[in-house]
Amino acid sequence: MPFRYLGVPIKAGRLTKKECNSITEKMVARIRSLGARKLSYAGRITLINSVLNTLYNYWATMFILPKGVIKRVEAICRNFLWDGSSDFHRVPTVSWEKVTCPKNEGGLGIKKAELWNIATVGKLVDWVYCKEDRLWIKWISQIYIRNQDWHDYIPPNDANWSWKNVCKVKEALKHGYDNAVWTANIKGYTIRSGYDCLRTSYPAQSWPSIVWNSWNIPKHSIITWLIMNDGMNVKQKLYKWGCCEDDLCCLCYRETETTEHLFLACEYSCRVSTEVERRIGMQFPTLSRLINGNKKKLQWRFLTAVLNAVYYSVWMQRNNARVNVMILRPEHVAKQVKELVVKRLKFKLGRNSDLDAMDWMRKIGM
């Protein structure tokens, strides 16, 4: 003791940070092998949810991991999201608390490692509540619980460390049970419902359906999400941090470059919007118009993709102006926006488009 079984350490005492280092080592190795610096924000989010969290999740279903390991896991995910590496090189533009909110509450839907760990171990707690026909449940009932009520059970001081942790998780989830029945979900306890029960909930936002619409190009959606959360490094912020000589807009050089000015009031942005209107034959969409629109209509999906594409293109031209001191004419930007959105729409519709959709696409020159 300790020895490894199925890749995890088996021991009677407390798990140490050193014994869990293989989790973070695998995560760092995976980041280095993926060429992550070349990925967009959207690609990094996908890899965090599908690859990095999977490496951690395997251990989290069995043990309550040391807090040092939890902090390192979250630090790796945070650094990877904002900088494409496992080390800290860049200050996050949006707080991790906001990033870990669900998408309908304005976040990115990345899970908090500590709460997810508690929720996964909560499955063991639920098995004890339901008296599952498992060998370790029978053993626990005979050695520890005996004839006591599991809901009010308190472990003895000389109990095993792992068992004490299971009891701590039971106390954290205790308010979700009523007469040994998990009330937060009709179908019984699930890890997701346990996680939702543990986390702090925020009011649902009205704009996420516009940002996370599957008809949008993912890298466009991330830029819009950053705009909504005031996460863009506009010159107003950079000037306060001492990173530039002035705070004038890179596109018009007339007013202070704030998020609102750059995307809504800047002369260049307005010219791009006007040119897009001319090319698609429709009024340029606004957030308020899209929020109140019919989300099932093809036109709404098209306009949503247009809005996200315009925001993304304006931000790219702003960066080009700041780094290379050159920008494309609004006509060229509008042409690129329409081409990108049309390609996306054709990809999503495929060959199974109905006649109404085909007629509408012809009208806007698709």
Helix (H, G, I), strand (E, B) or coil at 151: helix
Helix (H, G, I), strand (E, B) or coil at 339: helix
Burial label for 276, CB within 10 Å (0-12, 13-18, 19+), is buried
Same domain, 343 and 214: yes
At 227-270, the pLDDT tens digits run 999 999 999 999 998 888 899 999 999 899 999 999 999 999 99
Q: What is the pTM of this model?
A: 0.87
Predicted local distance difference test score (pLDDT) of residue 187: 86
Predicted local distance difference test score (pLDDT) of residue 60: 87
DSSP 248: B
- List residues bridging with 5 in a β-sheet: 8
Same domain, 148 and 257: no
Same domain, 316 and 185: no
Predicted local distance difference test score (pLDDT) of residue 216: 92
Same domain, 137 and 212: no
At 123-165, the pLDDT tens digits run 999 999 988 888 888 888 888 888 888 898 898 888 888 888 9
Same domain, 163 and 263: no
Same domain, 218 and 354: yes
In 3D space, the residue among 84, 134, 76, 82 whose CA is nearest the CA of residue 108 turns out to be: 82
Same domain, 177 and 258: no
Q: List, for the chain, all residue ranges whose pLDDT scores fall below the cut of 50.
A: none
Same domain, 176 and 263: no
- The sign of the dihedral angle between the CA atoms of 162, 195, 99, 36 is positive
The answer to whether the CB of 305 falls within 8 A of the CB of 351 is no
Predicted local distance difference test score (pLDDT) of residue 3: 74
DSSP 155: -
Same domain, 265 and 191: no
Question: Residue 212: which domain range?
Answer: 208-363
Same domain, 297 and 344: yes
Same domain, 239 and 280: yes
At 200-220, the pLDDT tens digits run 999 999 999 999 988 899 999
| Angstrom distance (rounded) from CA 52 to CA 58 | 11
Same domain, 74 and 187: no
Final residue before a domain boundary, out of 198, 218, 247: 198
Predicted local distance difference test score (pLDDT) of residue 358: 61
Predicted local distance difference test score (pLDDT) of residue 182: 92
| Angstrom distance (rounded) from CA 54 to CA 355 | 43
How confident is the prediction for the chain on average, in pLDDT? Answer: 87
Predicted local distance difference test score (pLDDT) of residue 244: 87
